[in-house]
Amino acid sequence: MILPPLYPHKTDAMRKLQNLVSRGHARWTAGQIEPRKLPALCLKFADRYGIERTAQQRWRAKAQVEASAHLVLWPGEPQRVHWWLVVSPGGGLVVELEQLQDAGRQRIEVTGYELVRMPRQGRAAAWTSGGPEFNFTRSDSFVTGKGEDGKNVSILDVNKFGKYSIRYNAYRFSIKENSSTFAFDAFNYEISRADKIELALQPSCAVVINNATTLHCRDIIKDNRRLLIRIFGYSSIAKPIILCENPLLVKG
């Protein structure tokens, strides 16, 4: 058999994936393999899932509600080839044997670049790929003179457990130069129209906030006799940076 093309550049591989997903091949699975084992993998996928089918054969399969599969290859690392198997709607062996994910729920990610579906004003949503588009400055209020900057970061992230997290500060986040402002403007618009829950804390009250999923703020404290204490907690899956074991000190 003839091996599928190996796209030499990551952008080429992402562009091919974007094209396939936008045409309906929105289910996927992926992995990495040694180059010497690649022919056997391609042969298996061709035999089981028909990745070598012609356009006419794929059309006939679609008419019979049978899924169509494409294989995209990128030699991203020495002695490792990244592969993605993208699948159209329908049934068949590929659906029965592979653990397919929905690109709309679990994004296809390539070393920091993601394939996402973006809304467009007055038109249908479109699939696009790109890396994190934002920069931020971190306050040095904890340790004077040791504030940090972040480059090329995301505001919204999805971890390996499928949970969303958010990192945002209206005063400290900015969009990268020459990047589209559409998503950033839409995000700020949704924040501006969101319902706000206001609480007046009393000396006997405490508020517990999941800092990774909740946007929060406070009014300026004008009475210097008041003291606001922040206590940080970690979830069971978090891995804090431990500065000292006894007593336990972690980096905030």
In a domain, 51, yes or no: yes
Is residue 30 situated within a structural domain? yes
In a domain, 222, yes or no: no
Rounded Cα–Cα distance for residues 145 and 3 (Å): 56
Structural domain includes residue 190: no
251 located within any domain: no
Contact 170, 208 (CB under 8 A): no
Paired residues of 165 in beta bridges? 157
The CA distance from 42 to 56, in Å, is 21
pLDDT (tens place) for every residue of the chain, 252 residues total: 677 888 888 878 888 888 898 888 999 999 999 999 999 999 999 999 999 999 999 999 999 999 999 999 998 778 889 999 999 999 999 999 999 999 888 888 776 667 766 655 566 555 555 555 677 666 554 444 444 566 666 777 665 555 667 777 777 777 766 565 666 777 778 888 888 888 887 878 888 888 778 888 877 777 766 666 666 677 666 677 788 888 877 765
* Residue 42, domain extent: 10-106
15 assigned to some structural domain: yes
Q: Is residue 130 part of a domain?
A: no
Structural domain total, the chain: 1
Dihedral pair phi/psi, residue 13, rounded to 5°: -65, -45
Lookup result for tokens 């992926």? 30
Is residue 16 in some structural domain? yes
